[in-house]
Structures are given as structure tokens and as C-alpha cells.
């Protein structure tokens, strides 16, 4: 009973969800297949969102109904563990799902192209075709960066840049390129792998448009005002140093750039930053399209964000414990050869240990949309001072740009407010100085939802009085352009 009590008092998460009853089968099926596609989990039926236990009447009949829903509604066939548990004289149903080797699973009513869902935080998200392909590759044990590029030849690899990167560590002759899996055999001839092109391709961004890094230094604690930025298009091993140089420039407490090696300059140890950046470069999902790796420097923290959700079977808690799974085997191998990675699987644990040893706030890892964000907090704030920046003018320019793009001043104002915090319609109306929620506000919120610029915080309960709206990744990209 102690374990059940503990479970029922946990918040909803990537691996736990509560449902009141079986009155709405579709959300239940979405949750179960999302668990199977992502990291497994447990669904508890007979419990309110606020953890109030209401129990299930006719539990045996309801269990049979649930089994029928699952059998008829999900493909490939999913067989979870279903258990009836009596707690506080009430019967609840606990459905446990493990990560599936047959993923991706989908809703039969929506089909294999539109009916695949994954678990992000405490919500379910429809997977696009790129993520569906990634789920399938993972189940088959195929690494994206190990796949051949049959239309290319060894000439598509910048061997000069690659050899310069390796320096005297290793001579990159044909045998070495094969050993590193930068070249692979395909129909009797040697061709580059995707990893080779991502790392050292002469036309890398032609084939992988988002294989670059965007760095920004912002004024204050949000992205309203950008102080400085740089787009880094170097090969990935060289990009690591370019990123660190940009961060060093803005992390100095001294105006003398020659002093960057002094320990008292940094409000965060360089080794932690370096480890977190390497982690992003190695674990980014380069099959995803939409945005590059992003590194945002605020007055109080640095956020490192890479495309791709956690690999199936992995949770944030696993990462903190030092459990690791490699997404890009070739990129990881090359970084290991270059001594960018000291020991497999130790990077994230070392970041947390060193932050604790340095007396820094604990780093944060979250899944935001189809991306993973690593936040490193500074020991002391570092202000981005720019006497030429008029904050009011910059905000007006941003609002004007959004108004032009959205063809609506109201939509621009809504977006800027939601950027600060999730808000419901009544809150937005109050912020806009309206006495009530106008028809035009309803219209613009509906339009922003249709454009996938904002999303509901409670998508399964669209008419809930607690409903709020937040930016999607597309919305963030629109504001940051």
C-alpha cells in the first residue's frame, strides 16, 4: 500500500497520468500509445486531476471495456499490464505500459501517418513524419547518422577540414574513414554516411539545413531584446570552440578579453558549459527540420536547446543519474576520438555534480515541444549593458514586425503577452484593457491556434475554465526571427 500511496501523490509527468473514468476512450488510448512510443508509464483510472480518489464502479466490466478499447484502437497490438487495486475502500485501475520494441504505435482511427503520439512532459503530442521515422529507426537499432548517402562520394567530405580537426591524433586515410564510419559500403562502393556530412560535409546545410548553431545574448531575463548574436556554420567540432568564444566574450566581468582564462571572470565554470554544449551537439536530432541548435545567454542563466525529444526509454531523471543512450553514434565516436567526451554516459552527471560542488543552482532539463532545453544558472547575474538600446522602442519594433506578419495588431499584442506567460482569454482581455472577451479576441486566438503559433495548456479540455494558451516552437521562432 505504501507504493500505491506514493504513486497517487505524484504529479502527472512523462510517465504518469490520472484519468477520472473511461468515458472518453480516445485520450486514454493516446496516452497509452504515447507511453509505448516514448518512455513507458502508468495510467491510473479512477483518480481526479487533483489526486482525489473517486474509484471505478463495476471495475471488472470496466477493465474488460478498456481491454476492448486497446485491442480495437491501437496498432501494432499493444498488451499493457492492467491491475485492479483497492485503496481507501475504492477500486482503481492501473495500466502499466513499457517502451515498445514495435514502435511506433498509432491510433487506428487516425492511421499510421497522423495517429502516432509521443509523451512530452505531462501531455501527448502528435509526431510528425520525421519523428515517426526516428521512432522506427530506434526500434530497429538504426542510428540516423550511420545511414549511407548513396548519391554522394568521398569528395563530399571536406577532408582538409577533417584532417585539420584531428591534427596529429590520427591520419584520416581511407581505412580510418571507414573505421570512424565516415565512409560505408553501399552496393559495392564507398559512400559518405549522414554523420560524415553533418560533421564535415562540403555542403552540409544543403542536405541538413538546420545543422548549425544560433547564439544570442539577450538583455534581461527574456528574449524581448537581443544584445548580440552570431550564427555559427563551422563544422561541428570547430563550432564547439566558436560557441565558447561567444559565451566567453559576454561572460567576462573584466573588459580585458585577454583575461578570459582567469577563474574569477566566470559566473559559471567553463567545464560545465563545455560539457552541456557537447551534449547538445552529440544528441541533437539532425533529422528534424525547423530550427538549429540554439544557445541563449540571459543575465541570470544560459539555455542550450537542441532539436529532438529524449530517446525512447529515457527520462530526465535517467539523465541526472548518468544513464545515457547515444542518438548519433558516429558524431559521438568522432567527439570521443577528439577527447571532447571523456567517458561515455558521464557528461550530464558530471555537470550536476560540478554545479553542486561549485555552489551553483541545480541545472534544469526540460522537453519543450520537440526540443530538449538544458538551463545552467549563473552564480551571479551579469548584466548586458547597452546605453544605446531603448527598450520601449525595441518592443514597439517587435510588435510592429509581428503585426505585419500576422496582419493584426491584436494578434501581435496577444502573442507578446503569451510570450511572457501562459494566459487565458479573460487574462488577455484584462491585459489589453478590454472589459470582456471580445469576438475579435476569440477570432484571433482561434487563428493563432490554427497557425500552430500558440497551443492550449489543456488540449484534452478545450472548454475548461482553467484553459490557457502558450507559445509553440513555431511561435517562439516567429518572435525570434
Residue with cell string 503577452:
417
Angle between helices 270-283 and 347-357 (to 10 degrees): 160
What was the pLDDT predicted at 394?
60
pLDDT for 75-117, tens place per residue? Answer: 999 999 999 999 889 999 999 999 999 999 999 999 999 999 9
Res. 343 pLDDT band, cuts 50 70 90: low
Contacts of 141 (CB under 8 A, 6+ apart): none
Are 428 and 414 spatial neighbours (Cβ–Cβ below 8 Å)? yes
Res. 259 pLDDT band, cuts 50 70 90: very low
Distances from the Cα of 455 to the Cαs of 3, 61, 450, in angstroms?
Answer: 35, 36, 9
Cell of 266: 566566470
Q: Where are the beta strands (DSSP E) in 8-80?
A: 16-19, 41-45, 74-75
Are 266 and 378 spatial neighbours (Cβ–Cβ below 8 Å)? no
pLDDT for 114-126, tens place per residue? Answer: 999 999 888 999 9
Residue 198 backbone zone (phi > 0: left; psi -120 to 50: alpha; other: beta): alpha
On the question of pLDDT at 466 being above 80, the answer is yes
Q: Show the domains of the chain with their CATH numbers.
A: 2-140 (3.30.950.30), 144-207 (no CATH), 213-377 (3.30.565.60), 394-480 (1.10.10.10)
Are 381 and 373 spatial neighbours (Cβ–Cβ below 8 Å)? no
Distances from the Cα of 232 to the Cαs of 48, 157, 184, 236, in angstroms?
Answer: 48, 19, 28, 9
Q: How many CB atoms lie within 10 A of CB 32?
A: 26
On the question of pLDDT at 474 being above 60, the answer is yes
Res. 392 pLDDT band, cuts 50 70 90: low
pLDDT for 232-245, tens place per residue? Answer: 999 999 999 899 88
Distances from the Cα of 431 to the Cαs of 391, 423, 456, in angstroms?
Answer: 20, 10, 19
Contacts of 6 (CB under 8 A, 6+ apart): none
Cell of 90: 475504492
Res. 382 pLDDT band, cuts 50 70 90: confident
Q: How many CB atoms lie within 10 A of CB 337?
A: 17
| Between 439 and 259, residue with greater pLDDT | 439
Contacts of 365 (CB under 8 A, 6+ apart): 316, 319, 320, 348, 372, 373, 374, 375
pLDDT for 312-329, tens place per residue? Answer: 888 888 888 888 888 999
Of the chain, the percentage scoring pLDDT greater than 90 comes to 55
Question: What is residue 44's DSSP assignment?
Answer: E
CB contact burial 198-217 (16+ within 10 A = b; e otherwise): bbbbeebeebbebbbbbbbb
pLDDT for 12-71, tens place per residue? Answer: 999 999 999 999 999 999 999 999 999 999 999 999 878 889 999 999 999 999 999 999
Phi and psi (nearest 5°) for 417?
-75, -45
On the question of pLDDT at 481 being above 80, the answer is no
Contacts of 80 (CB under 8 A, 6+ apart): 32, 36, 70, 95, 96, 97, 98
Facing residues of 16 across strands?
A: 13, 42
What was the pLDDT predicted at 393?
59
pLDDT for 180-216, tens place per residue? Answer: 999 999 999 999 999 999 999 999 999 999 999 999 9
Distances from the Cα of 439 to the Cαs of 411, 442, 445, in angstroms?
Answer: 13, 5, 10
**What would the mean pLDDT of 164-175 be, rounded to a whole number?**
88
Cell of 467: 484553459
Amino acid at each position: 500500500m505504501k507504493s500505491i500511496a506514493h504513486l497517487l501523490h505524484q504529479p502527472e509527468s512523462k510517465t504518469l497520468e490520472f484519468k477520472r473514468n473511461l468515458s472518453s476512450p480516445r485520450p486514454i488510448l493516446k496516452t497509452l500509445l504515447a507511453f509505448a512510443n516514448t518512455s513507458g508509464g502508468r495510467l491510473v483510472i479512477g483518480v481526479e486531476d487533483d489526486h482525489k480518489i473517486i474509484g471505478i464502479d463495476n471495475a471488472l466490466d470496466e477493465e474488460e471495456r478498456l481491454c476492448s478499447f486497446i485491442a480495437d484502437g491501437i496498432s501494432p497490438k499493444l498488451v499493457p499490464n492492467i491491475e485492479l487495486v483497492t485503496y481507501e475502500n475504492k477500486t482503481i485501475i492501473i495500466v502499466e505500459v513499457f517502451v515498445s520494441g514495435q514502435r511506433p504505435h498509432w491510433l487506428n482511427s487516425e492511421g499510421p501517418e497522423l495517429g502516432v503520439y509521443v509523451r512530452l512532459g505531462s501531455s501527448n503530442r502528435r509526431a510528425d513524419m520525421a519523428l515517426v521515422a526516428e521512432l522506427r529507426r530506434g526500434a530497429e537499432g538504426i542510428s540516423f547518422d550511420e545511414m549511407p548517402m548513396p548519391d554522394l562520394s568521398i569528395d563530399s567530405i571536406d577532408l582538409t577540414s577533417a584532417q585539420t580537426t584531428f591534427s596529429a591524433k590520427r591520419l584520416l586515410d581511407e581505412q580510418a574513414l571507414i573505421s570512424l564510419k565516415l565512409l560505408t559500403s553501399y552496393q559495392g562502393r564507398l559512400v559518405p554516411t549522414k554523420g560524415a556530412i553533418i560533421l564535415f560535409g562540403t555542403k552540409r546545410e544543403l542536405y541538413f539545413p538546420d545543422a548549425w548553431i544560433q547564439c544570442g545574448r539577450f538583455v534581461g531575463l527574456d528574449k524581448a531584446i537581443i544584445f548580440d548574436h552570431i550564427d555559427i556554420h563551422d563544422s561541428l567540432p570547430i563550432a564547439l570552440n566558436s560557441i565558447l568564444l561567444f559565451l566567453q566574450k559576454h561572460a567576462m566581468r573584466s573588459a580585458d578579453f585577454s583575461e578570459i582564462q582567469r577563474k574569477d571572470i566566470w559566473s559559471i565554470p567553463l567545464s560545465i558549459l563545455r560539457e552541456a554544449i557537447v551534449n547538445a551537439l552529440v544528441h541533437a536530432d539532425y533529422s528534424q527540420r525547423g530550427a538549429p541548435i540554439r544557445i541563449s545567454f540571459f543575465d541570470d542563466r544560459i539555455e542550450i536547446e537542441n532539436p529532438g525529444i529524449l530517446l525512447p526509454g529515457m527520462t530526465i531523471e535517467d539523465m541526472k543519474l548518468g544513464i545515457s543512450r547515444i542518438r548519433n553514434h558516429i558524431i559521438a565516436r568522432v567527439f570521443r576520438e577528439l577527447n571532447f567526451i571523456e567517458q561515455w554516459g558521464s557528461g550530464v552527471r558530471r555537470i550536476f555534480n560540478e554545479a553542486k560542488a561549485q555552489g551553483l543552482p541545480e541545472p534544469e532539463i526540460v522537453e519543450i515541444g520537440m526540443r530538449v532545453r538544458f538551463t545552467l544558472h549563473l552564480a551571479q547575474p551579469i548584466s548586458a549593458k547597452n546605453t544605446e538600446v531603448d527598450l520601449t522602442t525595441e518592443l514597439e519594433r517587435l510588435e510592429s514586425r509581428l503585426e505585419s506578419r500576422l496582419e493584426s495588431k491584436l494578434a501581435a499584442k496577444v502573442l507578446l503577452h503569451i510570450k511572457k506567460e501562459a494566459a487565458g482569454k479573460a487574462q488577455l482581455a484584462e491585459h489589453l484593457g478590454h472589459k470582456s472577451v471580445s469576438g475579435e479576441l476569440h477570432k484571433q486566438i482561434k487563428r493563432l491556434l490554427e497557425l500552430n503559433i500558440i497551443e492550449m495548456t489543456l488540449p484534452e479540455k478545450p472548454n475548461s475554465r482553467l484553459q490557457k494558451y502558450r507559445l509553440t516552437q513555431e511561435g517562439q521562432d516567429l518572435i525570434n526571427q
